[in-house]
Amino acid sequence: MTELLAVAGGYLLGSIPSGYWLPRLFRGEDIRASGSGNVGATNVFRVYGRRLGTAVVLLDMGKGFAAALLGLWAGGALVGVLAGAAAMLGHARPVFLRFQKGGKMVATAGGATFALAPLAAACCVAVWIAVFLLTRYASVASIATALALVLFVWLFGSPWPVVVLAIAGTAAIVFLHRHNLRRLAAGTEHRFELHRPRRA
């Protein structure tokens, strides 16, 4: 029962739509009507700038970390993985947004990985930063990092449930970025600007 509650709690944590709530709270606006319409951190960063974007990243990572940590406490690596996966699912389809489209799980997956495989997670952060600075495409950095995660958890000898989560999470992240991949192929993907013009 404790294990099931931990997984359910992971889903509820993941469902917290920080990318929707923070712009509502501080700007009185619906992020789904701006930019790409996505409630993830990248769109918040692009539309509202560094402060709100960074806050959403940290909160999204935090809920993945908390969910996986709760699972580890409740039942070890397997339950930690299930709770972390539930948080990722909650982020993609949040109950608090009536199961409408959520974010693309990258930050939430990163937070869960920090709880389950911290060394691999730290290496993935380095990969994301390097690829983003080289390309200025958040989508490319996210996909490259997801692919790198599978390699790192295997190299560092993570338990098999963590490896399975990395593979499944990578597949899900690539799938959720399928429209970005099409735009990249067409040359229409949005290149991120580090210095965003100030909003009026």
- Model pLDDT for residues 143-183, shown as the tens digit of each residue: 999 999 999 999 998 889 899 989 998 998 899 888 888 98
Residue 90 confidence (pLDDT): 93
Contact 67, 25 (CB under 8 A): no
**Amino acid letter at 67?**
A
Radius of gyration of the chain from its Cα atoms, rounded to whole angstroms: 16
The more confident residue out of 199 and 41 is: 41
Residue 188 confidence (pLDDT): 83
Residue from 87, 56, 70 nearest 165 by CA: 87
Q: Is 57 helix (H, G, I), strand (E, B) or coil?
A: helix
**Amino acid letter at 1?**
M
**What are the pLDDT digits (tens) for 102-145?**
888 888 988 999 999 999 999 999 999 999 999 988 889 999 99
**Amino acid letter at 52?**
L
pTM of the model: 0.83
Structure-token pair, residue 19: 């990318």
**What are the pLDDT digits (tens) for 123-134?**
999 999 999 999
Contact 88, 25 (CB under 8 A): no
Q: What is the mean pLDDT of the chain?
A: 88
**Which H or E run contains 142?**
helix 138-155
Q: Distance between CA atoms of 80 and 63, rounded to whole angstroms?
A: 13
Residue 198 confidence (pLDDT): 46
Q: Is 39 helix (H, G, I), strand (E, B) or coil?
A: coil
The more confident residue out of 101 and 22 is: 22
